Structure 1
Amino acid sequence: MIDDRIKLLRKAAQVSTEESSDKLWCVVAGNEELMNEIVYSVISSKKRVEILFREHIIIKESFGRKKFDFLMLWGDTDKIDELSYLCKESGGSYIKIAPYYIKKEPNLMLMVGPDNAVKKFVSNVEKVGNKFSILLDDETTGFIETDFNMATKLPKFIKKLFEPLFNMSDVILTTILISAKTSSDVEEIKKLSRSYKIFVIDFQEMDD
């Protein structure tokens, strides 16, 4: 259902250019509280902007969890500008995607993940020889939520000792829009992204 809506929007935007477009896609990312604020602003915008989907991501690691939300929006350029400003002012990250990019770049992918994971991933993609370029990028200026993984089997007194440290952990979120050279590069990049626990939106899949 979500993919069908995005396909229709993408086809409608094929004739637009970056300069003339009056509608944009936008991905905003940050902690849950900020995303709730963005959702409220979207709903109160009287249908000037649509929420195409929302994802709540939990990345489980050995002794902790990193949690963040992101939204994919489509709508009026002026309202998108307003929402992206609100997002940035509140510590989130955003990327605005004009129909120009969708038309010009056939192998477009968007990725969201913790900053250190994204940078390691990009370095490894380049190392193994996949061809791509980063078109846009942004990172949160506030920190995403982290907590101690209570499922970890440790004595209670140790959990109580370490939990405040995990809750105060400084984790930055990075969002990047990349263009791969070929379809095979897209598939290889997607496979690698799973190892780094990075969320991927493949625009090729939305155009089938």
Structure 2
Amino acid sequence: MIENKIKTLRKAAKVSTMQTSDKIWCVIAGNEEMINNIAYEAILDKERVKILCREHITSRESFVTKKFDFIMLYGDADKIRNLSLISKEDGGASLKIAPYYIGEEPNLMLAVGPEDHIKKFLGDLEKSTAKASFLLEDKTTGFIESDVYITRWLPKFARDIADPLFKMADVALSTVLISTEEEYIEKIKEIAKSNKIFVIRFNDILKEE
């Protein structure tokens, strides 16, 4: 069962901790162009913010391939907030993760994927024997790139008209942060894989930092 830990007092503690933290982590997801802009801004100010990882994700189902990127940052809280604001203005999803979570929650895991896939993932997780706590969530409001296989068999003149209509799909991405116990990590990874979403153990990134 997923135990929802976002209670009023915990929200207050999180906000207080976020406001007083000098450095925080941030995960931003969206289309490739937006993530390129965020990466560029981070590189220009590398003394204040560090790129921990970046991934390009391709999710294929039926005749549609959905493409999106995400990036994880760590650095000065004010700079991170500015980058988060830029991403939100461009329709991206942004999770700011305070040290509070790192110290208080065991085995943090980050999941990124199309919103319908994330909903299915959380539903399957709820029904499974794996125990996890839902901590943070955000979703995009912009477009992500997609390819539709069926247009490949259309005549060129028709493909030239149809392709631009399908290239940017109105598909929302969701990013969620959960915590779990060590014994459930592999099970959660299996559920994520079956739902075609990207999941990474937050602690593994911290070890590489």
> Scaled by the length of structure 1, what TM-score is found?
0.82
* Aligned counterparts of 1:53 and 1:168: Cα–Cα separation in 2: 25
What is the 5 A alignment of 1:1-208? 18=18, 20-149=20-149, 155-157=153-155, 160=159, 163=163, 166-180=166-180, 182-206=181-205
Q: Quick check: which one's helix share is greater?
A: 2
Q: Deviations over 1:50-74 (max 9, x none)?
A: 1111111111222121000110101
Shift of 1:116: 0.3
Cα deviation for residue 33 of structure 1 reads: 0.7
- Tell me if structure 2 keeps the 8 A contact 1:148–1:162: no
1:53 and 1:207 mapped to 2: Cα distance? 11
Inter-partner Cα distance in structure 2 for 1:164 and 1:89 = 23
Runs (5+) with no aligned partner, structure 2:
1-16
SS of match in other structure, 2:55: strand
Task: Say whether the 8 Å CA contact 1:27–1:72 is kept in structure 2.
Answer: yes
In 2: Cα distance, 1:21 partner to 1:112 partner: 25
Contact 2:91 2:143 survives alignment (8 Å): yes
In the alignment, is the contact (CA less than 8 A) between 2:107 and 2:202 conserved in 1? yes
Q: CA RMSD in A?
A: 2.3
Decide whether aligned partners of structure 1 residues 155 and 166 sit closer, same or farther in structure 2, where only a CA change above 3 A counts.
same
Aligned to 2:53, what secondary structure does the other structure show?
A: strand
Large movers: runs of 4+ above 6 Å: none
Shift of 1:21: 2.1
Matched residue SS, 1:29: strand
Query: What is the CA–CA distance in structure 2 between the aligned matches of 1:42 and 1:191, rounded to whole Å?
Result: 33
Distance 1:198 1:20, change over 3 A: same
CA change 1:74–1:204 in 2 (3 A) is closer
Unpaired runs of 5+ residues, structure 1, are: 1-16
TM-score, structure 2 as length reference: 0.82
2:79 aligns to what SS in structure 1? helix
Q: Quick one: percent identity of the two aligned structures?
A: 53
